[in-house]
Homo-oligomer: A and B are copies of this chain.
Amino acid sequence: MHPLFITDMAIRLKMVLSLLLSAAFLVSTGHGSLLLLELPREIHPLRPRSGSAGDHVAGLSCLSWRLGVETNNLIGWKTVPQECEGYVGNYMLGEQYRSDSRVVAGEALVYAAGLDLAGDGKDVWVFDVDETTLSNLPYYAKHGFGAEPFDPTPFNEWVLEGNALVLPESFTLYQKIVSLGIKVVFLTGRTEDQRSVTETNLKNAGYYTWEKLILNRTSSYSGSTAVTYKSSERGKLEKEGFRIVGNMGDQWSDLLGTSTGLRTFKLPDPMYYIS
């Protein structure tokens, strides 16, 4: 028998088996994205019963959860699933987060370098701040990497310390953007009363120059989503004559809505969701 025919038969058999299992599990539990994690080990088709391999398969499910988050399929979630706290922690502290960020920043860099710029000082690149240009990983490392419910009080205390770290891949892109003569606009959900500490933190992290730092005037945007706030502020930039040639954030709410820019770039962030 031709080996490709065997592959073909194997694929068909696998699809049929998967079909039977999917139908039973998806329909009967209805818990969406954490189905794999919620099934008892005994009946789980993917989960071996022996020790160490179980971690691998748990990792498999948390990887699927993370992919679901990064592709904007899983929305409106409040915390990282308890089962994935260890996975997300290892991811954020490990090389995969760096590698994932490097692919995004590298693509943005090639894109920026290839832009046909007008050179009239009106080309801008919009960067979000938290988990895009600055990293709050030391804070989240002490708060379950997003598995604990978000508490604004200690988080704001952390922000006011001004010790958020540089995100190296974004910083490399930032340097290229500046060197190309594209103006940098920081557009953040941080509030106006955090302007001074944010400016100092950005400078301490190496971001010395920018055209605008736009912070959330809660008086104007009270109750609005980040999509509404950021779309509105980007619209104002365009009305001022700026062309948004690039837009980078760690949340889809940085990149969706209106006036999103010529091209958007989504950095990884499996720790929290902002709508």
**Does A67 sit at the interface, judged by CB under 8 A?**
yes
Taking CB atoms, residues of chain B closer than 8 Å to A20 are: 168
Smallest beta-carbon distance A47→chain B, Å: 10
A96 and chain B: residue at smallest CB distance: B60
Q: Which of A163-179 contact B (CB under 8 A)?
A: 165-169, 171-173, 175-176
Partner of A95, one of B31, B46, B110: B46
Q: Which candidate, A7-15, A182-190, A222-230, is the interface stretch facing chain B?
A: A7-15
**Cα distance A266–B90 in the bound complex, in angstroms:** 26
Q: How far is the CA of A126 from the CA of B238 in the complex (A)?
A: 34
Q: Is the beta-carbon distance between A99 and B60 smaller than 8 angstroms? A: yes
Name the B residues within 8 Å of A104 (CB-CB): 68, 71, 73
Contact present for B7 and A138 (CB under 8 Å): yes
Q: How far is the CB of A100 from chain B (nearest CB, A)?
A: 5
Determine how close the nearest CB of chain B comes to the CB of A138; give it in whole angstroms. 5
Complex Cα gap A160–B34 (Å): 38
Asked if A175 and B23 make an inter-chain contact with CB atoms under 8 angstroms apart, the answer reads yes
CB < 8 Å: which of B15, B35, B109, B110 contacts A102? B35
For A31, the chain B residues whose CB sits under 8 A away are 106, 110
- CB proximity to B under 8 Å, residues A1-29: 4, 7-8, 10-12, 14-16, 18-23, 25-27
CA distance A11 to B102 in the complex (A): 17
Chain B residues with CB below 8 A from A102, complex form: 22, 25-26, 35-36, 64
Given contacts A67-B268, A105-B22, contact A165 B35 (CB under 8 A): no
Residues of B within 8 A of A111 (CB): 32
B15 touches A165 (CB 8 A): yes
The residues of A with any CB-CB pair to B shorter than 8 Å are: 4, 7-8, 10-12, 14-16, 18-23, 25-27, 30-33, 35-36, 46, 60-61, 63-65, 67-68, 70-74, 93, 95-96, 98-100, 102-107, 109-111, 113, 135, 137-138, 141-142, 165-169, 171-173, 175-176, 265-266, 268
